[in-house]
Structure 1
C-alpha cells in the first residue's frame, strides 16, 4: 500500500482503536469477573456464584423493571413529542421560535437539569410555594412523595425534558435535506393536511437519519445513573445505581456480583432496544396500510395545537429549573412557603466557589482536552475519507455509535479493572480517554452533516490550480466550516462536562469534577452549594457556545457588506 494511502487510513484506524478498543476490553473485563474470574482478588477459577448472588438480591426484579420501564417510556414519549410537534409546525414562525429556545437546552448537563427539576417539583419546591398557602392552605411542605416516587415518574419526566432537545435537534438536522419543502407544497396541492404530509411522505425519508440517535437515547435512558440518583426511586433504586453502589462497596467480593449485574444491565438495555425495533416494525406496517386509505386529514389544527403544548411545557420547565438554580446560589434563607428568598447573600457562594476551584479546574481541563481531541479527530477522519471518495457509513458509522448504543456501566466496570491492573486508575489521562470514547461520537455527529453539505467544487477548483490537500483543508474547508467546527467543539465540551459515570468509575475518586460533586451534593441538605455546582455545570458549556457564536462574527465581520439585501 502506498505511503500516502496509509496516511489516509490512519484516522480510521485511530477511531477504530479509540472506540472498539476500550469497549471490547471493558466488556471482557466485565464478563470474566461476572463468572467468578478475578485473579487480582484471588478468584482464579470460573464460577456461577456471582450470578447466584445477584439473583438472590432483594428487589432485583423491581430494579430491572424500573430501568426498562422508565427508560423505554421516556424515550418513546420524547420521540412522540418531537415528531408530533415537527409534523404540525415545521416551517412556521412558531417552529423557529421554539428552536431558538430548545437549542441552548442541549448544552445543559443531565445532572444539572435533574437538580433544577428537583428544586421545581419537590414538595417544598417552587411550584408548591407559588400556590401556597393562598390556594393550597399549606403552611409547611405536604407529605407527598413527588421526588424518588416508587413508579419513577419524576425520573421519567426528567429524562423526557432532557432528551427532547437532543432528538429535536437531530430531527432538525435531518429535515435539512433537498426537496423537503417541495414535498409539503405537493401535498398541500393535493389537499393533504400538514401532519399527513409529514407522516406519510417526509418521515419515511428522514427517519433513517434519526434512528441511531433514538437507539442511543434508549440505551442511555435504561442505564442512567446520575438522573436516577437524583430523581429516581430509592426502595429499591433502578438497576444501574445499585450496580455503582455494589462496585464501591468495601466488601471487594461484591465487585464480582456487580460485574454480573452489569451483564444483566446490558441485557435489559438490549431487550429495550429490541422492543423498540418491534414497535418500529409494527408502526411501519400500520403506516403502510394507511397509505392507500386516501385520508387527507386537512382539519388537523386541534392535533397541531395539542402537539405544541408538551413542547412549550418542556421549554418552560427547563427554563424555570435553570432560573431556580441561579436563585438558590444567592439565597441565604428561603423558608417555606415564601416564593422568593427572605435574605440574599453571596458569602456562602464565594466560599463554596473557593472550595470547588479544584473540581472546576479539572472539569475545564477535561472538557477542553476531550473537545479539542474529538473535534480534531472528526475533522481528520472526514477530510481523509472525503479525499478518497469514501462516505462514512455502514460499519464505520455503527462503530462510531457503538459506545452510545451500549450501556456505559456494562463496559466501564471492566475498563476500570484494566486501568487498575495497568496502574492508570485515578489518573487524568485515564479519565480523558474514557471521556473521549463518549465525546467523539457526538463531535462526529455534529460535524458530519455540515461537512457533507459543503460544496465539493471549492476543493476541486483549488486542487485543479495546484493546491495541495493540506492547503485546501486549511485555507478553504476550515474557514468555510469555522462556525460548525466551533459549534462541534462546544457540543463536545458540553458532553464532557456532563460525563458522570466515566469520571466516577475511572477517576476512582481522585479526579473530581463539578458533575460528580453536584450529584453527591444533590442528596444533601445544602441546596445552595448543590445549586452552585449545578450552575458551574451550566456556565462552562454556555460560555463555550457563546464563544463559538461570537468568534465567526468577529473573524468574518468584514464580509457583512457582501450579504444580499432582501
Structure 2
C-alpha cells in the first residue's frame, strides 16, 4: 500500500495542466498587451496608453454597470427562484413533474435559447401576435423597445431562463444526501412548516455544494457575449461584447485596448463575486438571528405559490421558445399579426442546411471529441482517486471550477495571442483544447456525484477475488455507471456545442460552428435561417441525451427479469 501511495498522480497532474495551464498562460497573454507590450505587432515597451485609451471610450461606465448589474441580478434572481421552489415543493409530485421539464432544458445552448426568446417577446413576436389585433388594435408591430432595451431587462430575463435549470439541477444533486428526508420529518414533528424546515435546517447542509456553481454562474453572467449580442443593449453594449468588437477591429492597435478592457472585465466580475459573498454573509447573519426566534411559520401557502409560478413561467417560456424555433424553420411566409405561418415551405430549409453542413460537421466533431476526452479523463481521475482512497472534494474542486470562476474573455484574449505566436491559431486542435477547458468541469461535476454514491463493496469483492484494477473498472464500475457516464458525455457535448466565444476567438474565423453562425444570423432579417441554425444547435444535445437514455436499455435488456417486484 505505501508503494501504491507514492505512485505519480498522473490524472491530477494532467487536469492541472489542462485547466490551470491555459488559464494562467491566457491571463499572462492578456496582462502584458494591456500595458502596451505585444512584440508580434511591434509594441516592445511597456506603456499605460492602452488603459488611457480604454477609459476615454464613450459609454464605458454604462457598459461596466450593465455587465455588473444584469449579471449579478440575473444570478441572484435565478438562485432565489430555485431555492424558494425547492423549499416549497420538494418531495412532491409537482416537483417531480417540473424536474422532467427542467432537466432537458439544461442542454439548450444559450444562443439558441436567446434566439427563441427573441422570437417570443419581440415587438413582432408571438406574444404580441397572440393579442393582436383583437385586443391591442395593432396591425403593425408596435414601436416598443423590448429587445435590446437600454436597461438590459430582456438580457437579464434570458439569463435567468437559462441559469435556473442549471442551478436547479445542482440543488437537486445536493439534495441527494443522506438524512435530508429525516430533517423534513423531524421539522414537521416539531410543528415547523415545509419552507421553514428547508431554510433553517436543509439549506445550511446543502448550500456549500451549491456555492461554487453559483459563483460560476455570476462569473459567466457578468461577462456573457452571445446572449448580450442577441438580447442586450447596443447603445452602448455591455462590456464583453464591446471587447470582442475591439479585438476584431481592423485597427490592430485596438487589440491593446481590448486587452486592457479584458482586465477591466476581470475586475467587474470579481466585484460582482465579492458583492455576492458580502450579501451571502449578511444573509447568514440574518438567518442565524431568525433561528433563535422559534417561529414555526406553519402557514406557508402563499410563499409556496410564490415559488411555484416563476418556475412554471420559466419552463413555459423556454418550451414555447423552442417550439417557435421549430415553427420558424418551416415558415415560408409569416406576416404580422398572423398567429401562425400563412405558407409552409422546406425549400429554404434544405438550402440552408446544405450551406450549414460544414458548420454542423465542425460542431459535431468538436462536441464528440471534447466530450469523449473530458468523460474519459474524468473516469480516469475518479478511478485513480478511488484506488488511492483520496477525496475528490476540496482543493481539486476549486481547481476544476477555475475556468468557470473567471470571465472567459479575461484569458481567451491572451490564449488567442499565444496560439497565434505558436502557429496554432485557427486550427481544430487549438479550438478543441479551448473547448476542453470549459467542458471538463461540467463532465466532472456531472459524474463525480454518481461515482461517489456507488457502493465501494462491489470493487472490494471483485478485488478480493483476484480481479485487477483494470478488470474492476471495465467489468464492475463501468457497467454499473453506464447510464451516468453516457449522461456525462451528453452534458459535455451540450456544453461544447454552446461554446461561442472560445470558438470565435481561438478559431480565428476558420473554424465555424452552428453556434457562431446562429449568433451572427440572429441580428439579420432572415428569421427562418436564424431559427434553422438555432435548431441545429438543439439537435446535437438532444441526440446525445436520447442515446444516453436508449443505450443502457438496450445493453441491459436481458437483465429485466432480475428486477425485484415491490
Instruction: Tell me, yes or no, whether TM beats 0.5.
Output: yes
In structure 1, list runs of 5 or more residues that go unmatched: none
Offset at 1:528? Answer: 0.2
Hey, what does 2:122 align to over in structure 1? 122
CA change 1:3–1:241 in 2 (3 A) is farther
| Equivalent in the alignment of 2:247 | 247
Q: Matched residue of 1:332: which SS?
A: strand
- 1:18 aligned to 2:18? yes
2:280 corresponds to 1:280: yes
- Show the counterpart of 2:303: 303
Distance, in Å, in 1 between the alignment partners of 2:9 and 2:467 is 21
The residue correspondences of 1:441-452 to structure 2 (distance < 5 A) are 441-452=441-452
Compute the TM-score of the two structures, normalised by the length of structure 1: 0.99
> How many Å apart are 1:394 and its aligned residue?
2.0
For 2:124 and 2:565, locate their aligned partners in 1 and report how far apart those are by CA, in whole Å: 54
Q: State the 1:486 CA deviation.
A: 0.1
Report Cα offsets for 1:26-64 as digits up to 9, x if no partner: 000000000000001110000000000000000000000
2:199 aligns to what?
Answer: 199
What is the aligned partner in structure 1 of residue 471 from structure 2?
471
Q: Aligned to 2:9, what secondary structure does the other structure show?
A: helix
CA distance in 1, matches of 2:3, 2:171: 40
Deviations 1:344-376 (A, max 9, x none): 000000000000000000000000000000000
State TM-score, norm by structure 2: 0.99
Measure, in 2, the Cα distance between the counterparts of 1:427 and 1:330.
34
Question: Within 2, Cα distance between the matches of 1:7 and 1:370?
Answer: 28
Counterpart contact for 1:71–1:218, Cα < 8 Å = yes
Change in Cα spacing, 1:282 to 1:15, as seen in structure 2 (3 Å) is same
In the alignment, what sits opposite 2:350?
350
User: Residue 370 of structure 2 contacts residue 435 of structure 2 at CA under 8 Å; is this kept in 1?
Assistant: yes
Residue matched to 1:440 = 440
Deviation (angstroms), 1:395: 1.8
Following the alignment from structure 1 to structure 2, what is the Cα–Cα distance between the partners of residues 100 and 3? 47
Cα distance in 2 for partners of 1:375, 1:275 equals: 34
Q: CA deviation at 1:113?
A: 0.1
| More deviation, 167-176/5-14 | 5-14
> Residue 513 of structure 1 corresponds to which residue in structure 2?
513
* Mapped partners of 2:281, 2:17: distance in 1: 34
Provide the aligned C-alpha RMSD in A.
1.0
Task: State the distance in 1 between where 2:227 and 2:335 align.
Answer: 26
Question: Which residue matches 1:113?
Answer: 113
Deviation at 1:117, TM superposition (A): 0.1
What is the CA-CA distance between 1:558 and the residue it aligns to? 1.5
**Gap change, CA 1:40 and 1:6, over 3 Å in 2:** farther
Q: Which residue of 2 aligns with 1:482?
A: 482
1:73 aligns with 73
Q: State the partner residue of 2:421.
A: 421
1:375 is aligned to 375
Please say if residues 29 and 414 of structure 2, whose CA atoms lie closer than 8 Å, have aligned partners that are also in contact.
yes
- Per the alignment, residue 395 of structure 2 pairs with 395
Q: Give 1:392 shift.
A: 1.5
Aligned-partner Cα distance in 2 for 1:52–1:115: 36
Instruction: Report the Cα offset of residue 393 of structure 1.
Output: 2.1
Task: Show the counterpart of 2:499.
Answer: 499
**Could you say which residue in structure 2 is the equivalent of 1:46?**
46
- More deviation, 387-396/261-270: 387-396
Q: Write the distance in 1 (CA, Å) between the matches of 2:345 and 2:5.
A: 62
Equivalent pair of 2:4/2:388 in contact (CA under 8 Å): no
Matches for 1:521-540 after TM superposition, within 5 Å: 521-540=521-540
Unpaired runs of 5+ residues, structure 2, are none
Task: For 2:209 and 2:491, locate their aligned partners in 1 and report how far apart those are by CA, in whole Å.
Answer: 19
Change (3 A) 1:4 1:186: closer
Task: Name the structure 2 match of 1:260.
Answer: 260
Match for residue 234 of structure 1?
Answer: 234
1:439-474, Cα deviation, whole Å (9 max, x unpaired): 000000000000000000111111111111111000
Deviations 1:365-424 (A, max 9, x none): 000000000000000000001100111222221110000000000000000000000000
What does residue range 131-150 of structure 1 map to in structure 2 within 5 Å? 131-150=131-150
**Alpha-carbon separation, structure 2, partners of 1:142 and 1:158:** 21
Compare 300-309 and 57-66 and name the one that shifted more.
300-309
- Take 1:343 and 1:230, find their aligned partners in 2: how far apart are those partners? 27
CA contact (8 A) 1:8 1:385 kept: no
Q: Flag as ranges the 4+ runs of structure 1 deviating above 6 A.
A: none
Aligned to 1:29: 29
Task: Note the alpha carbon deviations across 1:54-91, whole angstroms, 9 max, x for none.
Answer: 00000000000000000000000000000000000000
